[in-house]
Structure 1
Amino acid sequence: MGPGRRWVRAAHTALSAALLLGLLLHRTDLQKQEERGELLQPLIFVLLVLCSVLLYFKVSLMDPGFVKPEEEAKEGENKGQGVVIPQIPGDIKLRRCGYCLVKQPMRAKHCQLCQHCVRRYDHHCPWLENCVGERNHPLFIAYLSVQLVVLLWGGHVAWSGLYFEQSWEWLQHNIFLLVSFLLIFIFTIVVLLLLVSHLYLISCNTTTWEFMSHHRISYLRHSELENPFDQGIILNLWRFFCARRLTAWENIYFHKNSEPV
């Protein structure tokens, strides 16, 4: 783990802790509930913040779906390690990556920041300092969902502690909550847009990379279908959230393209 990655993750943890402590220690609804002995909502809020931080580290530290060299993949599968590698028919030829020289499954892309090819590559997230790919994408959605709930609740709590007067003392007493509310508002917009856009792409069974670079990706450019991986919203969502194995996208691609139009 490089120093840049440690810095980003430390910043995320410090920011989450600072906002949590600030909202609990200032005169907000949460503090008033604590004083009355009503601890359920403060406890749930703290647990949600902890859950969001744990999900952040889980997604940022886990293997997003790095493509292993053939020898390593077979050895890991024989030992029962990791996820079972999908079998691809012998008549389908996989291209080799020009950077790491592994056989690249369909929908995989080489990330120059991670120095690996990633299965069903979506994007490299600078805030996670990790790629979002086939293995960690569902958890990424879970993280965004929990984070959005925390931000919406945190924004409400910060606003509840503000009181408005036209004096210098007002700013002194409210500066932390005011800055917290503005930060939370900005983060809420970003997370909401991310979550909505990802859910839309997932429902279509496409990725951020494929959506943005459709005209440059050979298997999409040469396909007779606009999206050869789309199997309908219900099956797309089920495959994304419930499938336990990596998918051989080549099978779906060639099956869909061979169907009569």
Structure 2
Amino acid sequence: MRLRAAWSSACLVRVAHPALSWGITLGLFLHSTDLRRQAERGDLLRPLLFLSLVLCSVLLYFAVSLMDPGYVEQDGDPKETVSEEEKAMISQQASTIRLRRCGYCLLKQPMRARHCQACRHCVRRYDHHCPWIENCVGERNHSVFIVYLAIQLVVLLWALLVAWSGLHFEQPSWAWLHRNLLLLLSFLVVAVFAVVVLLLLACHLYLASCNTTTWEFMSSHRISYLRECEAENPFDQGVFLNLWRFFCASRLVTWENLYAEGEGSAM
């Protein structure tokens, strides 16, 4: 019963996002905005580009919502295996790091993993569980999540300008309010979402540049491998390398190696 309720809630949230996106887009074209005037003149480049960005944001939303965020499947997960050359590079200090066993699913957690009670899985490089995408943000989908936020912010800011272009302010009257109510509400909703997405994007870009996560940033005093380490952030390798590995790495990382290096360099 609980699982069915969670599934129905997830479906409802995932339907709400495209419905809201396309509903606001339709409202922008129904009113006398710049996009509608350009479409009526036959200048279709900007209207089609705007529609393409909305479609891209919706597809990215479903991608980050439905993809595996980095679930820990089992002890010695084959997805996490490394080559013989990489094994030879693992320091003796890293090999002696004790990994904890999850108290919920009883799996041995890789470093930086955490159990999500909403998803009922341990997630590698756990960042947070996002109720808007009804999924965890972890090692596999964190970079996609940031790209989604960036595209969504562009769409929202553009929609804000388009909605503003259709609000022809006159002397306040019930007739004007009735005529522009939908566009005015769309403007306010888009403005609120734009501020939220901007703050989220700035926050996650900062976290990625430092090679840390929301969970580690907010709860460093509760996390044993951070509390016991002399280095403030043992995973930080500099802004450029952090961002390069975050956005361009195509495989899972053995965080115990970086932890051992960071802890060793601080001693």
TM-score (structure 1 length as normaliser): 0.93
Q: Once structures 1 and 2 are overlaid, which stretch shifts more, 54-63 or 89-98?
A: 89-98
CA change 1:5–1:226 in 2 (3 A) is same
CA change 1:173–1:118 in 2 (3 A) is same
Are the equivalent residues in 1 in contact too, given 2:129–2:136 (CA < 8 A)?
yes
Q: Which amino acid aligns with 1:180?
A: S
Q: Once structures 1 and 2 are overlaid, which stretch shifts more, 88-97 or 13-22?
A: 88-97
- Show CA shifts across 1:195-217 (max 9, x none): 00111111111100000001000
Partner residue in 1 for 2:48: 43
Kindly state the Cα deviation for residue 85 of structure 1 after the two structures are TM-superposed.
3.6
Kindly state the Cα deviation for residue 230 of structure 1 after the two structures are TM-superposed.
0.6
Q: SS of the residue aligned with 1:110?
A: strand
Partner residue in 2 for 1:146: 151
Structure 2 stretches lacking a partner, 5+ long: 1-5
Q: Tell me whether 1:22 sits opposite 2:27 in the alignment.
A: yes
Partner residue in 2 for 1:81: none
Q: Tell me whether 1:197 sits opposite 2:203 in the alignment.
A: yes
Q: Tell me whether 1:241 sits opposite 2:247 in the alignment.
A: yes
Q: Tell me whether 1:172 sits opposite 2:178 in the alignment.
A: yes
Residue 206 of structure 1, aligned match among 194, 197, 212: 212
Kindly state the Cα deviation for residue 91 of structure 1 after the two structures are TM-superposed.
3.5
Residue 188 of structure 2, aligned match among 182, 186, 195: 182
Correspondences of 1:1-261 after superposition (within 5 Å): 2-70=7-75, 73-74=77-78, 84-86=80-82, 90-165=95-170, 166-259=172-265, 261=267
Q: Which amino acid aligns with 2:21?
A: S
1-structure distance, mates of 2:173, 2:119: 51
Partner residue in 2 for 1:80: none
Q: SS of the residue aligned with 1:214?
A: coil
1-structure distance, mates of 2:230, 2:96: 20
2-structure distance, mates of 1:241, 1:260: 27
Kindly state the Cα deviation for residue 2 of structure 1 after the two structures are TM-superposed.
0.5
Q: Which amino acid aligns with 1:206?
A: T
Q: SS of the residue aligned with 1:38?
A: coil
Q: Which amino acid aligns with 1:155?
A: L
Q: SS of the residue aligned with 2:221?
A: helix
Q: Which amino acid aligns with 2:147?
A: A
- Show CA shifts across 1:7-37 (max 9, x none): 0011111101100111112110000001110
Q: SS of the residue aligned with 2:191?
A: helix
Are the equivalent residues in 1 in contact too, given 2:231–2:266 (CA < 8 A)?
no
CA RMSD of aligned residues (A): 1.4
Kindly state the Cα deviation for residue 90 of structure 1 after the two structures are TM-superposed.
4.8
Percent identity for Structure 1 against Structure 2: 65
Q: Which amino acid aligns with 1:62?
A: M
- Show CA shifts across 1:66-104 (max 9, x none): 011136x33xx5xxxxxx544676533321101001110
Q: Which amino acid aligns with 1:97?
A: C
Q: Once structures 1 and 2 are overlaid, which stretch shifts more, 148-157 or 88-97?
A: 88-97
2-structure distance, mates of 1:240, 1:259: 22
Structure 1 stretches lacking a partner, 5+ long: 78-83
CA change 1:221–1:18 in 2 (3 A) is same
